Structure 1
Amino acid sequence: MGVYPPSTHRCRSRCSASCSMASHHGIRLAEAWPLPGCRFSSSRAMLSWVHFGDLHVSHDDSFKSVGLLERLVSAVNTNVAHAVEFAYLPGDNANNGKPEQYAKIRSILSSLRLPTNAIPGDHDFEPGSLETFHRELGVDSLPKQVTVKGHRCLFLDIVSAGEGGPDFRLGAAQTEWIAAQLAACVNDKERPVVFMHAYPGDLAEGGEALAHLFASAGVLVVDTGHTHYNELLNDGSVIYAATRSTGQIEEDDGRAGVAIVTVDASVVSWRFQPVSAAWPLVMITTPADRRLVTDPADQRQVPVGNCEVRAKVFGQQIAEVVVSIGEQRATMQPVSGEHAVWQAELPRPPDVDRYQVTVVASDANGNTASDTIEVLSRQGAGSRAFAAAPPGTDAHAVGEWADHGLLGSQLGPNKNGRAW
């Protein structure tokens, strides 16, 4: 595997004169870069959201995904809603952009106990405009910026500037807007996150420049749809996440589910929970799993002294949470002021490249769940390599991670799947 050096395009709380981008639509994405005095001083308020994959609500399958959405909303209301900030719909909501399809979605979402942020996909744009999407779902005009837990959350529309279908484009005005928003992040205490329908590498133009912009601005994670399958990318600077569709699923025998994403200071975590799975659900949020390390010098991602472990536990009546590293064990304590967050500290094993951290949670009814991640040591982090490919493309996929819902199948209509 070749090495595509990510550090040339990162700001990550220290800016460098090497930040440089291509122009797009005549707008210099790099105008604000490098950012003098770029800094992020996290207060450790964790940001979390739940992702309902592309719904593709359609009369063609007798509105099958509506029933799945109803089951998912019920599970989220019971086990997740109290512990996340919002729900996210990543586009391709109505398969043909029709009012009756949106009406079905609106009816189910009316019972969801969370604010919802929705963006469009190419199927929402099938009528030739997004007027129906905005009207029927009550979606604010896009792009939009919302600050949640100190993080600037940026929601994009990459379909209406194109000609329809997968002709994904930002357009001149939105390109200028995202550059200005990310330049303004210099004054933010927390790092930004971005929501768009597809990866930068899927854009018809300007995708590589956009990915470099995300890296330079210290964007932590870009959450997307479009693929129809679960996938995580790590290009060495930014994590990209795609969640399995709720409708039109091919992988894993068609099992629908939700993804939960957490941002714990500079650490990104992601896990998929199938609709049929039992609760509780455990997500280790600090330190970073080896697959999701973007900055090996960051001691929250790659611990140097003792290993501080934080986890989020979703479910009801959680009674006990225990962390272990090898033979060492500790009972985790709930974190004051945070919902469903537990914390403990254990010694880090010496003289190893990587080690496992496991968290086991039990509820009052005796149900148990666990999460295990592989943590890099500083010496192990130094041997990483990245694909010799542009950033923001699926050449940087982390591959199979079955415990977290990643099958590595790329089984969808844009890759190895069938046409829908």
Structure 2
Amino acid sequence: MTANPPGEGDPFVLLHVGDLHLTTPEAASARDLDAILARIAGLPRAAFDFAYLPGDIAEDGTQAQYAILRAALARHPDLPVRLIPGDHDRQHGTIAAFDALFAEIAGSPRGGGHRAVPHRLPRPEVEKEVRHFCYAETVAGVRCLFVDMVSPGYGRKGVGLDFRIGAPQMAWLAGEIAEAAAGDRPCAVFLHAYPDDLRPPQERLDLAGLLWDGRVRLVEMGHTHYNELAHDGRTLYAAARSVGQNEDGSVGYAVAAIDGPVTSWRFRPLDRTAPFVLVTSPADRRLATRPSTEAAAGLVRDAQGRIRVRALVLSDREPALCRCRADHGPWTAMTRVSARIFEGRLPWPAGSRVLRVEAADPRWPGHGPDFVDADAIEPPAAAGDAPAIPERPGSDTFRIGVWPGKGVRGDQLGPNRAGRQW
């Protein structure tokens, strides 16, 4: 089952809520979590597939800290959630508290009914059984693989990070990616950190090679604490801003979509009013799969020389308008074609550079920044060469850099790069 081509169904849409680092119910992280979940729960349920929590849920991995998330989710019982562990979820050398949380949330209808997978793995002292929080499911035609980089390692507070995959999980992942590629099914992988952060050098190369050779479309990550996009010509690596240890701007959540051959991403801050717009087709030149043919970039023209423009509009009420234009040309109205997508046909003359989609809430007075939002992309001008594998695959060396329209500051502020020591 392949993903729906543009114009023939809804895209896959996920909402990424960054590392929570929950401490106490009175802390800002708990208040921000409540605000984010309330904003998400206010959206039409058909507008997205699930909310993703990329690990580092609890600052010290304690039951009391996970109880904060349980209480927040209890206020929104219909909200679908997917989660994996981060290094803070085993701060004191045990992941038992996260295991209990996973069994409760992931093992429920809201979490897809997933279970931890036991494996026997080598350890410094003696081989022991380890529970992997890895699982797979197909959502909106996309094969989603959730990978545990934490449980196979030995890291704990005072010792440091020790991200690993382990042979059983690596073999499982290789099989899943190969099967998705053979079936021409797009694949998204969910990690806590970049593959380059794995401790064993061979595992770094093995995982990055699997993602490259399998043409995985999206790798969604936490850990960095800042918004970052890195695209190697095949795969978009996307990291989202932390909720609990944030040095990167307003808290919020990231929105990612796979719409036929096009992958898109944008951060939604909570200090902005509805609506929120994400262009899901055509592709931006910075994120387009290379070689960027018209078909691969979503730029196939009809008999009148028009391209199909598709956009996801997230809001708690129906937009009063949604429209698109090329550069500074006239606006073209877009119409709702599903619970997720607005579409329009737009003339795209040779030499056009910027495609802009704008949506307005019924409360918009016709001026000012509140209750109106826009996403702007730059579609590829021409087909490019097929990419060569990067020198350090699975790392941030090919990051895109500053992109304010997508919420990417590019300064890498966070405890894992250039931020303060949390």
TM-score bracket for the superposition, by shorter chain length:
0.7 to 0.9
Q: 1:215 maps to what in 2?
A: 212
The equivalent of 1:115 in structure 2 is 80
Residue 157 of structure 2 is aligned to residue 166 of structure 1: no
CA separation of 1:388 and 1:51: change in aligned 2, threshold 3 A: closer
Question: Could you state the TM-score of these two structures normalised by the residue count of structure 1?
Answer: 0.84
In the other structure, the counterpart of 2:51 is: 87
Q: 3-state SS of the aligned residue for 1:108?
A: helix
Alignment pair present for 1:50 and 2:20: no
Residue pair 2:12, 2:49 contacting (<8 A) in 1 also: yes
Q: Are the equivalent residues in 2 in contact too, given 1:150–1:189 (CA < 8 A)? A: no
- For the aligned residue pairs, the C-alpha RMSD in angstroms reads 2.2
1:179-328 equivalence runs, <5 A: 179-186=174-181, 188=183, 190-205=185-200, 206-252=203-249, 255-295=250-290, 296-297=292-293, 299-301=295-297, 303-305=299-301, 306-315=306-315, 316-326=317-327, 327-328=329-330
Partner of 1:155: 146
In structure 2, the partner of 1:377 is: 381
Matched with 2:416 is: 414
What is the rounded CA distance, in whole Å, between the counterparts of 1:152 and 1:129 in structure 2? 30
User: What residue identity is the alignment partner of 1:143?
Assistant: C
* 2:353 alignment partner in structure 1: 355
CA shift at 1:143, angstroms?
Answer: 1.1
Cα offset, 1:328, TM superposition = 4.1
What is the alpha-carbon distance in structure 1 between the residues aligned to residue 325 and residue 2 of structure 2?
33
CA contact (8 A) 1:311 1:341 kept: yes
- Work out whether residues 4 and 141 of structure 2, in 8 Å CA contact, stay in contact via their aligned partners in 1: no
CA distance in 1, matches of 2:348, 2:273: 31
| Residue 368 of structure 1: aligned partner | 372
Q: What residue in structure 1 maps to residue 119 of structure 2?
A: none
User: What do residues 196-236 of structure 1 show as CA deviations (whole Å, max 9, x unaligned)?
Assistant: 10011111122122122112212110000000100011011
Provide structure 1 residue ranges, at least 5 long, that are not aligned to the other structure: 1-37
Provide runs of 4+ in structure 1 moved above 6 Å.
38-41, 384-387
Q: Distance in 2 between matches of 1:261 and 1:64?
A: 26
- Are the structure 2 counterparts of residues 273 and 39 from structure 1 closer, same or farther at C-alpha, using a change threshold of 3 Å? closer
Question: Is this contact kept in 2: 1:387–1:395, CA < 8 A?
Answer: no
In structure 1, C-alpha distance between the alignment counterparts of 2:134 and 2:245, rounded to whole Å: 27
> Could you say what secondary structure the match of 1:251 adopts?
coil
TM-score by length of 2: 0.83
Deviations 1:141-185 (A, max 9, x none): 121001111111100100111111421110011001101111221
Q: Deviations over 1:86-135 (max 9, x none)?
A: 11000000011000000011100122342100100000011323221020
Instruction: Rate the CA distance shift 1:39–1:117 in 2: closer, same or farther, 3 A.
Output: closer
Aligned sequence identity (%):
36
How far apart are the structure 1 equivalents of 2:44 and 2:59? 27
Moved more, 158-167 or 79-88: 79-88
Distance 1:234 1:257 in 2: 23
